[in-house]
Amino acid sequence: MENRTYFYLMLFENIGYIRYAFFSLGFVVFCAIVFFNALIILVIFLERTLHHPMYILISCLSVNSVFGTAAFFPRLLTDLLSDTHSVSREACILQAFVIYSYAANENIILMLMAFDRYVAICKPLQYNNIMTPRVLSVLIAISWIYPMICLGIAGILNARLTMCGNKLWKVYCHNWEIVKLSCGNTIANNVFGFFNMTTTLIIPLHFILYSYAKILIICRKSSLDFRRKAYQTCIPHIVILLNFSVALFCEVTLSRFATLELPIGLSIILSLEFLIVPPILNPLVYGLNFPEIRKKILWIIKASK
């Protein structure tokens, strides 16, 4: 079989003039994501009183949001205005690498945030000795480097496959959809894909659940004021975690189980939620919920006027 060098994103075909409405909406959403997350990054970077593990990890979420959406939205907006929707195989594998690195990074950063809350609430006297700047730097580096290595290897495995088709029924390049177009042996891809899912999604999620189980046990034995302060810092993280977990579950379920018969519009919305909703929700939840961040944002707005 010939090795196809281009993929065609079929969901952009025959959408007519409604493409301009989608383009306008997508452009506004992309600008909002970049603006809100850049604002959070700027506030935490400039304000020395926010140079603590919890806030630094919040800024990492914002950096990751910009990283992931930058791989998705520019290509999406170009395809909406273009009459041809082909993408080279190399560019497609690169986009899939960035998008799924973003998803894995997000999950691991959420795990680090749960660990930070666990240490702060369950081991307050040891917090400064455990969450040192050096330890935090190493954990953040691992949260970025490890997923990129895993997804890089997955991209190499995909690149070696012989393609027997070139039509992707997605609005972005998708690792599993690329593998399904192959007519060669995909056992290595499937095994490594399961390994990636286990180490970057399942294990972090179990660790997060363990951390919050410990936090709840401590809170039940503590005073009302202690519980109030603990919940105040944990609830935003839980909201972000639940939203991202549901969005990722929808994407994985739709990509792995093609037998699910859903309207095409609903399928697209569910598969894109993890790329759109968390990057918008994260800065809004943390920016509005934490007084320290909210005050600094208001100060920047007033100063700009």
- Sequential DSSP letters for 258-295: TT----HHHHHHHHHHHHHHHHHHHHHHHHHH-HHHHH
Give dist(CA 189, CA 176) in Å, integer. 9
* Between 11 and 65, the higher pLDDT residue: 65
* Between 291 and 137, the higher pLDDT residue: 137
Give the model's pLDDT for residue 262. 62
Q: 259 pLDDT exceeds 70?
A: no
Residue 162 has what DSSP assignment? P
* Between 68 and 260, the higher pLDDT residue: 68
pLDDT in tens, 108-151: 999 999 999 999 999 988 999 999 999 999 999 999 999 999 99
pLDDT in tens, 140-192: 999 999 999 999 999 999 988 888 888 888 888 988 888 888 888 888 988 99
Task: Say which residues have a Cβ less than 8 Å from residue 146's Cβ, sequence separation at least 6.
Answer: 108, 199, 200
| Three-point CA angle 103, 168, 67, nearest 5° | 25
Query: Using an 8 Å Cβ cutoff, are 205 and 244 in contact?
Result: no
pLDDT in tens, 215-242: 988 888 888 888 888 888 888 888 888 8
Average pLDDT over residues 8-14: 79
User: What is the band of 258 on the pLDDT scale with cuts at 50, 70, 90?
Assistant: low
- The pTM of the full predicted model, rounded to 2 decimals, is 0.90
Give the model's pLDDT for residue 1. 39
Reported as type and span, the H/E element at residue 35 is helix 18-46
Domains and CATH numbers, the chain: 6-304 (1.20.1070.10)
Q: What are 1's strand-pairing partners? A: none
What angle do the packed helices 133-159 and 53-81 form, to 10 degrees? 30
Q: What are 182's strand-pairing partners? A: 163
Q: What are 9's strand-pairing partners? A: 168
Report the SS3 class of residue 7.
strand
Q: What are 192's strand-pairing partners? A: none
pLDDT in tens, 273-289: 889 999 999 998 888 77
Q: What is the CA radius of gyration of the chain?
A: 21
Tell me the HSE value of 101 on the side-chain side, using a 13 A CA sphere.
29
Reading the block at residue 293, the tokens are 């961040």
